[in-house]
């Protein structure tokens, strides 16, 4: 089974990871698929830290950020340096829900399993797989899912064990 950090990151932790990586808010926001203003909200939100709060990262985004910062407890990116390899981050979202469904199948997971892994209700996950649903995953979620499936076009993960 896949190892996923099941909590979203606090705004303080997000800011700390960005600073450790030596990136500006603009740079990390761009990598994660946000403009500067929306990224600033991720670093300053107070109170409700859940993926259902629009100013919080999702579980998938949190795990991807932990990988970029080499702070994930279970995985690390192979041959990756933030300053040298930012262009390898796939700054796109899936073209359709069919792409999301195929990634889930590549992971060998049922819809209920992937929903639980990424912190969604079953119905919430099913909506991400609707064929007409483009941009159903956020950039960080999409990158993390491709990394878990071993289908990322430019990056790979390996176990820290």
Kindly report the average pLDDT of the chain as a whole number: 87
The pairing of beta strand 157-159 with beta strand 75-77: antiparallel
Q: How is 40-100 classified by DSSP, letter by letter?
A: HHHHH--S--STTSTTSPPHHHHHHHHHHTT--SSEEETT--HHHHGGGS-----SSHHHH
Give, as one character, the DSSP assignment of residue 128.
H
In tens, the pLDDT along 116-150 reads 999 999 999 999 998 877 667 889 999 999 999 99
In tens, the pLDDT along 48-76 reads 555 545 568 999 999 999 999 999 999 99
User: For 33, how many CA atoms within 13 A lie in the half-sphere containing its CB?
Assistant: 19
Computed from CA positions of residues 89, 124, 38, 93, in that sequence, does the dihedral angle turn out positive or negative? positive
User: For 3, how many CA atoms within 13 A lie in the half-sphere containing its CB?
Assistant: 12
In tens, the pLDDT along 9-21 reads 999 999 999 999 9
pTM of the model: 0.90
Task: Find out whether 118 and 58 touch, Cβ atoms under 8 Å.
Answer: yes
User: For 143, how many CA atoms within 13 A lie in the half-sphere containing its CB?
Assistant: 27
Task: Find out whether 89 and 99 touch, Cβ atoms under 8 Å.
Answer: no
């Amino acid at each position: 089974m896949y190892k996923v950090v099941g909590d979203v990151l606090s705004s303080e932790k997000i800011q700390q990871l960005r600073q450790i990586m030596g990136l500006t808010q603009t740079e990390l926001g761009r990598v994660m698929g946000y403009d500067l203003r929306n990224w600033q909200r991720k670093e300053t939100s107070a109170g409700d830290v859940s993926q259902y709060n629009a100013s919080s990262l999702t579980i998938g985004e949190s795990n991807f950020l932990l990988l970029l910062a080499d702070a994930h407890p279970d995985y690390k990116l192979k041959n990756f340096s933030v300053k040298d390899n930012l262009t390898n981050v796939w700054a796109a979202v899936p073209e359709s829900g069919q792409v999301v469904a195929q990634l889930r199948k590549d992971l060998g997971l049922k819809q209920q399993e992937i929903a639980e892994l990424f912190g969604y209700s079953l119905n919430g996950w099913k909506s991400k797989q609707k064929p007409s649903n483009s941009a159903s995953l956020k950039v960080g979620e999409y990158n993390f899912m491709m990394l878990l499936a071993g289908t990322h076009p430019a990056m790979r993960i390996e176990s820290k064990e």
